[in-house]
Amino acid sequence: MLQFLKYVLATIVGLVLFSLVGFVIFVGIVAAIGSSSDEVTVASNSVLELRLDKPLTERKQEAEFSVFGGSGSSIGLNALKDAIRRAKTDDDIKGILLNLDVVSGGMASLEEVRDALLDFKKSGKFIVAYHETGSEKGYYLSSVANEVYLHPQGLLEFNGLSSEVYFYKRLFDKLGVEPFIFRVGSFKSAVEPYFRENLSDSARYQTVSFLNSINDHTVQQIAAARKLPLARVKTVQDSMLVHNAEDAKRYGLVTKLGYYDEVLDYLRRQLKLDADKKPSLVSLSTYAKAEKDDEEKVSGNNRIAVIYAEGDIVGGKGGEESIGGTKFAETIRKARMDNKVKAIVLRINSPGGSALASDVIYREVMLAKKEKPVIASMSDVAASGGYYIAMGCDTIVAHPNTITGSIGVFGVLPNLGPLLSDKLGITVDRVTTGKFSDIPTVTRRLTPFEQQQLQHEVERTYADFTSKAAIGRHMPVERLRRLASGRVWSGTEAKDRGLVDVLGDFDDALAIAARRAGLKEGDYRIQALPRRKSAFESFVGMFTDGSSEEAEARMLQNKLGPLFPVYQQYHAVMQMQGVQARLPYELTIQ
């Protein structure tokens, strides 16, 4: 009896302690949320310091526990551009310090940031950049600066762009996995990693083409910014003449070799401070909290809905980092039926995904544009399914650096029979009511007839995709299919071939939408959709709706390091259902 009472007492004490801890956590969350609304002021004679040390995404993604003082797990492109734009006319901000090393972001996103920095310089304010180790992408941004400092022992990467592709054929051979491939288009190389050990000639040809197109554009921009002859900059890059800081200075890519304290001395001179005074540096996160409310500057209730479509296209509602066909179709539908919304901008950053989910979204785009302007704004990637949801829009706006096209489809159905029986000792038997009742199956080989039927389904989807693309682009389907076949294009290449209408950024797309809707600046406000979960909602969701998947992925990324792309590819394959309209292979430009 005494032992029983002891256990009961221990249980009660445990419950009380758990409740107290839970209460403290809850109070902390509420306090953190409340403090986030506290007014933050920026001191006069300050410098905005930009450290792009987190992934650059269309909208800021909150870390699961950012309510406890974290600053989020990504940097939102829109918030970053807004901060630079506001700093241009903010009398308290005298300049910008770019403190950059490795920068994570797509080439088109970086182009938007760079354009915002160039616009900032029109105010007469200064930009200074500092690198300890400068990556190719980081230098692309810092090349706009008035002064570019590089640590005397630092390195600057300036040797061109590259892209690596992982191939899994040997792995599948060892495991006993036999992939059955169904595709249309000689350039639809998304499935090559499953049955090849290297790039096919067509895949290599298209990659060389769009990589060179993107690289030519960046080199031209760098040469113009640094006031260097274009041919000289190309020679420096192609011959890898920059090996160290002295080389970077000799060839005019940087202006000063110096330490961080020397950068601070430069800031003191610009701010006219005494040598013993510390320059006032304002971080991006702090400056974002100090942002003034511009709502009062907007008259009326007119809105332009900006629908952010970022990530893989999947069926159903999807998640915070994917494009759920059902969820996004509903979002477009609500914007179409909202009388306050006068135009829609579909902001796309997606390599594609489910062909069915893409078509669900495409249908709502077609219905919406019957009632109001719908403009597509392509970010880093708008390929395959990403192009599918753009092709019905009134106007398609892309960056020169956007990766787009890839108009093609594929399907993969693996035979896991040898893996199960030979490697794992698992056998499978079946009972069916008809000859094809177990299709699709992953536990046996497909017969030639079954393979033929699945290939016909992929071809049917491709015919539907290209027919709709031809209608959207106002060109004969035969011509469209010559541009399709799964081939990937840069934004510049796509514009030359009529696959996009305008080369420009998000602001250009927004201006087109406003003009089409008859709206002038100050007559409308931006409505960002779909609504994102707050930090508190994400925290609660970890315990209620299983939304900890993104946190788990980030933990795996930290643990796996360079092997994380392999896990991502495996996870993507496991998520594939039905025919896919997806970018050829996992593409990372570095």
pLDDT, tens digit, for every residue of 109-137? 999 999 999 999 999 999 999 999 999 99
Residue 297 has pLDDT above 90, yes or no: no
Cα 293 to chain centroid distance, Å, stands at 27
Residue 237 has pLDDT above 70, yes or no: yes
Q: What is the pLDDT of residue 125?
A: 97
Cα 476 to chain centroid distance, Å, stands at 32
pLDDT, tens digit, for every residue of 550-568? 555 555 655 555 555 555 5
Instruction: Tell me the average pLDDT across 308-315.
Output: 94
Instruction: Tell me the average pLDDT across 376-384.
Output: 96
Q: What is the pLDDT of residue 450?
A: 92
Residue 260 has pLDDT above 70, yes or no: yes
Instruction: Tell me the average pLDDT across 56-82.
Output: 72
Tally DSSP H helices, then E strands, for the chain. 22, 22
Could you tell me which CATH number the domain at 295-426+439-532 has?
3.90.226.10
- Tell me which residue has tokens 């491709």: 462
Instruction: Tell me the average pLDDT across 327-337.
Output: 97
User: What are the structure tokens assigned to 547, written together?
Assistant: 């939304």
Kindly name the residue from 322, 384, 485, 547 that is annotated as catalytic: 384
**Check whether domain 46-158+242-289 has CATH 3.90.226.10, yes or no:** yes
Alpha helices in 442-562 (DSSP H): 448-473, 477-483, 491-496, 506-516, 535-544, 549-560
What one-character DSSP code corresponds to residue 584?
S
With bands split at pLDDT 50, 70 and 90, how would you rate the model's confidence at 401?
A: very high
Of the listed ranges 160-169, 353-362, 537-546, the least confidently predicted one is 537-546
- Give me the chain's average pLDDT, please: 86
Q: Give the global pTM.
A: 0.83
Q: What is the pLDDT of residue 452?
A: 93
Q: What is the pLDDT of residue 525?
A: 95
Tell me whether the CATH fold assigned to 46-158+242-289 matches the one assigned to 295-426+439-532: yes
Q: Residue 63: which of 555, 512, 487 has the closest Cα?
A: 555
- CA distances to 34, 174, 318, 445 from 418, rounded to whole Å, are 58, 10, 33, 10
Provide CB contacts within 8 A for 68, sequence distance 6+: 28, 29, 32
pLDDT, tens digit, for every residue of 524-537? 999 999 987 655 55
Q: What is the pLDDT of residue 11?
A: 58
Q: Residue 464: which of 533, 398, 408 has the closest Cα?
A: 408
Separation CA 390–CA 306 (nearest Å): 14
With bands split at pLDDT 50, 70 and 90, how would you rate the model's confidence at 67?
A: very low
Is 384 a known active-site residue?
yes
Name which residue leads in pLDDT, 291 or 373.
373
With bands split at pLDDT 50, 70 and 90, how would you rate the model's confidence at 417?
A: very high
Q: What is the pLDDT of residue 505?
A: 96
Within a 13 Å sphere around the CA of 541, how many CA atoms are in the beta-carbon half? Answer: 19
With bands split at pLDDT 50, 70 and 90, how would you rate the model's confidence at 198?
A: very high
Instruction: Tell me the average pLDDT across 485-509.
Output: 96
- Tell me which residue has tokens 């809707």: 517
Q: What is the pLDDT of residue 533?
A: 61
Of the listed ranges 4-8, 127-131, 454-458, the least confidently predicted one is 4-8
Q: Are 361 and 329 in contact (CB under 8 A)?
A: yes
- CA distances to 55, 103, 268, 406, 588 from 561, rounded to whole Å, are 15, 16, 40, 29, 15
Residue 5 has pLDDT above 70, yes or no: no
Q: Please report, rounded to a whole number, the percentage of residues in the chain having pLDDT higher than 70.
A: 80
Of the listed ranges 36-50, 220-234, 467-481, 549-563, the least confidently predicted one is 549-563
Separation CA 273–CA 560 (nearest Å): 47
Q: What is the pLDDT of residue 295?
A: 44
Is 73 a known active-site residue?
no
Separation CA 315–CA 579 (nearest Å): 12
Instruction: Tell me the average pLDDT across 449-469.
Output: 94
Kindly name the residue from 54, 188, 372, 468 that is annotated as catalytic: 188
Alpha helices in 90-227 (DSSP H): 107-121, 136-142, 169-175, 192-195, 201-226
Instruction: Tell me the average pLDDT across 417-445.
Output: 91
Of the listed ranges 11-25, 188-202, 219-233, 367-381, the least confidently predicted one is 11-25
Residue 293 has pLDDT above 80, yes or no: no
Q: What is the pLDDT of residue 292?
A: 55
Q: In this structure, which long-range contacts are made by residues 64-69, counting pairs with CB atoms below 8 Å and at least 24 apart in sequence?
A: 64/538, 64/539, 64/542, 64/548, 64/550, 64/551, 65/539, 66/535, 67/28, 67/29, 67/32, 67/33, 67/535, 67/536, 67/539, 68/28, 68/29, 68/32, 69/32
What one-character DSSP code corresponds to residue 251?
T
With bands split at pLDDT 50, 70 and 90, how would you rate the model's confidence at 576?
A: low
Q: How many residues does the chain have?
A: 590
Number of Cβ atoms within 10 Å of the Cβ of 440 = 13
Domain boundaries, the chain: 46-158+242-289, 295-426+439-532
